[in-house]
Amino acid sequence: MRQLKRLWQITLKDLLVMGKDRGSWIVLLLTPLAIIMVASFALGPAFNGELKSKLLAVNLDQGAIGKQLIDGLDTAEGLDVVEGTEAECQSLAVGDKKYKTSLVIPADFSSQILTGSDTSLQVYVDPTDNINRPFMLGMIDGAASRLSGMVTSVRVSVSEVIKFAPEAEPVTVASDAALAAANQMTGNPPVAVEISNAGTTADINMFDTQAPGYSVMFLLFGVMLGAEGLLEERDKGTLGRLLVAPVAKTSILGGKLVAQFLIALVQMTILFGVGHFVFGMHLGNSIPGLILMIFVTAFTATAFGILLASVVKTRRQATSLGTLIIILMSALGGSWWPLAIEPDFMQKLGHLTINAWALDGMNALIINGKTLTDILPQAGVLFAYGCICFLVGLRLFKFRNA
């Protein structure tokens, strides 16, 4: 009981010291809020479908099918067709070279299709564009595939008509069939695409995807400051003097852990609260589940800070090594980008980090609409992670400088 009282006294002392340090609160709250806002607003247009890839195109065709192709691409989601010249499309040297893909529709495009003949579309790409090129080529290939299907149907129609009416003019039959097929495909396509959200999850915004990742990253930076403070007390001899008093090592480090844990809780709560009430961030369908994830994430991050303080000798080492580890953990663990886009081996490495397990649970709640029971495995792994960090840190930490 006495050791618990000592632990609580150490906790209160650390909280008072931290409360007076305005610089630390800037790192804990204002900096992550600024980064989250910048990232969310910067990526918002792309996420909301407002940012479109631009396709430079020239239609040399005098018929209706070339125009239908251009109109179809221009109305596609995420694509904006800009009219250019043939020379511009071939060189892509327009303005500040903002066009990375161009399309040239040949002069005889409609006539070739109307007669069931082979034809081609000419596409020019910027070889340095590895971001938009797959999307752009996919859209053009999709349009070409639909037209290829129409040409095939025209050829079949002509051959069948000729069987029963040998006197029919093949060119006339092909033209009529092609026009009828084109009108059917553009006016009332036989196969429609209906898009719905899977499950019960509502549309999400960029704050839903950005806030959790950056919150976890800056939570780790916050506990790094706590580790530096712990080392400062050791350097000044404060911890050594505490050992003279009847205070157990577990009470000393436990008090530090509880103080940093409470600060981490406040940090995460404020970040999520501002995200929700100011920027419309969703909190998911299970507030208890989100509270649990915030608790275990704060605990594990704080225990990581204790471990960090136990394996370095100086505050400068804590800053340099801690920054390197946190940056690597954030990159691998999905704080900067979705973990799913990383290669399989990096996803496995990512789950050695606090970030990955924390974001697995938070994203499951906020984005996928999961419940408390669904995120218990992630919470359990994080809690075990934190316990191991604290026990190892307690074992290795030196209360006096050598």
d(CA 247, CA 143): 75
Would the pLDDT of 192 be above 50?
no
Closest-CA residue to 9 (of 263, 250, 306, 251): 251
Give the mean pLDDT of 236-263.
Answer: 70
The predicted structure's pLDDT at residue 296 = 93
Placement of tokens 């003019």 in the chain: 169
Query: Of 94, 344, 33, nearest to 219 (Cα)?
Result: 33
pLDDT tens digits along 73-83: 777 777 788 88
Q: Who wins on pLDDT, 358 or 264?
A: 358
Give the pLDDT mean for 121-137: 77
Highest mean pLDDT, choosing among 161-175, 246-260, 369-383: 369-383
Q: Other C-beta atoms within 10 Å of 72: how many?
A: 18
Q: What is the C-alpha separation between 370 and 229, in angstroms, rounded?
A: 38
Question: The pTM is what?
Answer: 0.65
Mean pLDDT of 50-54: 67
At 292-336, the pLDDT tens digits run 999 999 999 988 888 888 888 877 888 888 888 888 888 888 888
Q: Is the distance from CB of 390 to CB of 309 less than 8 angstroms?
A: no
Spell out the long-range contacts of 328-331 with Cβ–Cβ below 8 A and sequence spacing 24 or more: 329/220, 329/353, 329/354, 329/355, 330/213, 330/216, 330/217, 330/220, 330/355
**Looking at per-residue confidence, does 392 or 111 come out higher?**
392
The confidence score (pLDDT) of residue 292 equals 93
d(CA 54, CA 348): 36
Count of helices and strands (H, E) across the chain? 16, 4
Please report which confidence band the pLDDT of residue 395 belongs to, taking 50, 70 and 90 as the band edges: confident
User: Which residue intervals of 334-375 are DSSP H helices?
Assistant: 344-350, 354-366
Q: How far apart are CA 92 and CA 94, in angstroms?
A: 6
Q: What does the pLDDT look like over 91-100, one tens digit per residue?
A: 875 555 677 8
* CA atoms of 55 and 384, how far apart (whole Å): 51
Sheet holding 53-59, edge to edge: 79-83, 53-59, 101-105, 122-125
- pLDDT surpassing 50 at residue 195: no
